[in-house]
């Protein structure tokens, strides 16, 4: 299948095909596609984006943490081993995380570990909207947030990632 597909084609996808196409717009969260599929037909791509955002908004705080925990570390072990999802690999490359200096790699890895130790989940930022310097700055600045603030901020970043992934997959007719 060539992407982006039309909104009509997205509305017409068979059940499991919709889940295959949209199952990673929220990282490794096929349940989002299962739930959003029930809201078809959509009349615009914005409605699709809003439906996935609504899915996230409807989760409890604990469920949001589970969704956040599914995301990989930025420039972490999975990236080094080539085990990121196709979408995450592309996003991290766009941000320049595949071309870090040894100093930047050490700084990001140390800050990732410190962040995860405090919050219990990886640092989430929309890599496609950032570059290495802003990612490092965000890691350091957001460490001072409360858990509730970080759940809210990470969920907002996931919505940005989700929207961009949807725009890669579907376009208005």
Give the active site residues: 71
| Distance in angstroms (rounded) separating the CA atoms of residues 40 and 170 | 14
Pairing, β 170-171 against β 5-6: parallel
Q: Would you call 148 exposed, middle or buried from its count of C-beta atoms within 10 A (0-12, 13-18, 19+)?
A: exposed
Peptide bond into 152 cis (omega under 30): no
DSSP code, position 167: H
User: Among 54, 79, 173, which Cα is nearest to 135's?
Assistant: 79
For residue 1, what are the CA distances in angstroms to 10, 56, 141, 157, 167?
11, 27, 41, 28, 15
In whole angstroms, what is the distance from residue 84 CA to residue 116 CA?
A: 18
């Amino acid at each position: 299948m060539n992407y982006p597909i039309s909104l009509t084609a997205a509305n017409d996808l068979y059940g499991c095909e919709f889940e295959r196409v949209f199952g990673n717009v929220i990282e490794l969260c096929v349940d989002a596609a299962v739930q959003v599929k029930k809201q078809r037909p959509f009349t615009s791509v914005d409605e699709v984006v809003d439906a996935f955002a609504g899915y996230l908004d409807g989760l409890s705080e604990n469920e949001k943490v589970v969704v956040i925990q599914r995301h990989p570390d930025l420039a972490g072990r999975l990236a080094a081993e080539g085990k990121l999802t196709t979408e995450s690999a592309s996003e991290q490359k766009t941000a320049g995380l595949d071309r870090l200096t040894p100093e930047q790699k050490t700084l990001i890895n140390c800050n990732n570990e410190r962040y995860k130790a405090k919050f219990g989940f990886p640092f989430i930022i929309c890599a496609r909207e950032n570059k290495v310097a802003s990612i490092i700055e965000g890691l350091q600045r957001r460490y001072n947030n409360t858990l509730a603030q970080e759940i809210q901020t990470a969920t907002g970043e996931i919505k940005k990632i989700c929207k961009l992934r949807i725009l890669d997959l579907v376009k208005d007719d």
